Amino acid sequence: MDGRLVLEDGSVFEGKIFGDVDCARAVTGEVVFNTGMTGYQEILTDPSYAGQMVVLTYPLIGNYGISKFFSESNKIWAKALIVRESYFTDRKNFSLLDDFLKKHKVVGISEIDTRRLTKRIRSYGTMNGYIQAEGMRGASTEEPWDKTKEKVSLVQQVTTEHTYRLPGKGPRVVVMDFGVKKDILKRLNYLGADVMVVPAYSDAKYIYSLRPDGILLSNGPGDPQDVPEIVATVKKLLGRVPIFGICLGHQLLALALGAETYKLKFGHRGANHPVIDVETGRTIMTSQNHGYAVREKDLRRLGLVVTHKNLNDGTVEGLRHRYLPAFSVQFHPEASPGPMDSTHLFEEFFEMMFKRKAEEQAI
C-alpha cells in the first residue's frame, strides 16, 4: 500500500506502508534518526523511543529477522519505523520484522529516501511529522503533530507499575525505572546484584526502606525537565548511598545537583559515537539514544567533574561529583558496541558500593 511521511515543515516523502496497515491513520510523532547498522529490534523495543518515529539510516532493515532474545522490553515503544528497504527474511527460529510490527500494532513505511530525510533533520533539526496511508485521510487538514503533546509524561507511560525483584547474592541495587532496558538489569544481575526495580515516581522514603547499597537512575524518554518531582526525589537520595545514572538518569542527576539541560538540534542516536575519557585520554565507541544534554556551564562550581566528552560535538557525556558518591554517563555502557569499551563502569559502581559498605562497618 502506498503511503507518505509528512514533516512539520511541509516536506513530503513517498513510500510503501508495511507492518500494521490499520494503524496508518495519520500516525504522529517526533521524527528522529539512528545511524546503527544493526539492532533494529533493540531500537524498536527501547522505551527511550516512546513517542518517536525512528528513521534508520542503514538501507537494508530486517535481513536477520526478529529473535525472542533481542528485545529490550516487552513491547515496541517507537510509534513508527521508517526505512529505505524492508527485507523479508525467513530464518529458522527467527520471525519477520513485518510480523513483529503487526503483532505490536505498529506501522512502518519503506522505500523512503532516508538519506534525504536524515540530511533534512540534520540541517533543520528534529521535527514532528505524520505517516498516512493512501486513502486514509482525515489529518492533513489540521496540525496532526499537535497530537504528540501527551498529557501524561513519557516516563509515566514507560515505567513499571509495581516494584519487582531480580534476586542476587551481591549488593542490593534499587533501579529507578524511567524506561529501563533489559540489558542494564542483566548486567547488574551478571555482576551479582540483588536488583529491586521501582516505579519512576517512588519517593525517597520508600526507596530507602528497601535498604539499597546503591541506586541506579535508568535511561528513559523525553525531556528531563518534564519530571521535576523525580529531580526532587533524586536530590533527597544524594549522599547516603552510591548513585549511578545512565542516559536520562545522567540528566536527572545533573539537574538534581543544580546543573542545566538543553535540547540538541537532532540528538545522538546510534552505535558508533566516539567518546573520550577525559581522565585517561582513552577513546571509546558508544551506543547512544538521547535528544537532550547537560550544559557544561557552571559544572565546576557545582562540584561536578566532566569525565567524558563527545568527540563529534564536544557535549558532556559523563559526570562525577567531587565529594558525593555519584557519577553518570550519557551513553549506554551495557550496549557494548566497542564491544567492551565501557562495561567497566558497572564494575566501578560496584566498587563504590563495596567501599561505602566497608566504611560504614568500620565506624
| Residue 22 DSSP label | G
pLDDT at 137: 56
Q: What is the pTM of this model?
A: 0.94
| Residue of 42, 72, 247, 250 with catalytic role | 247
pLDDT for res 281: 96
Residue 308 bears catalytic tag: no
Whether the CB-CB separation of 329 and 345 falls below 8 Å is answered with yes
Q: Under a CB-based contact definition with an 8 Å cutoff, are residues 300 and 256 in contact?
A: no
Q: Which pLDDT belongs to residue 139? A: 46
- 332 flagged as catalytic: yes
What pLDDT is recorded for position 22?
A: 81
Read off the pLDDT of residues 306-362 as tens digits, 9 standing for 90 and up: 999 999 999 999 999 999 999 999 999 998 766 677 889 999 999 999 999 888 888
pLDDT < 70 positions in the chain: 89-93, 136-152, 337-339
Residues 246, 248, 250, 252: is their CA dihedral positive or negative?
negative
CATH architecture of 2-148: 3-Layer(bba) Sandwich (3.50)
Write out the CATH class of domain 154-362. Answer: alpha beta
Amino acid at the residue 183? D
Enumerate the domain spans of the chain: 2-148, 154-362
Q: How far is CA 197 from CA 37, 178, 185, in A?
A: 31, 10, 9
Residue 247 designated active-site: yes
For residue 123, CA distances in Å to 14, 117, 129, 184 come to 20, 10, 16, 33
Write down the pLDDT at residue 142: 46
| Residues 150, 51 contacting (CB under 8 angstroms) | yes
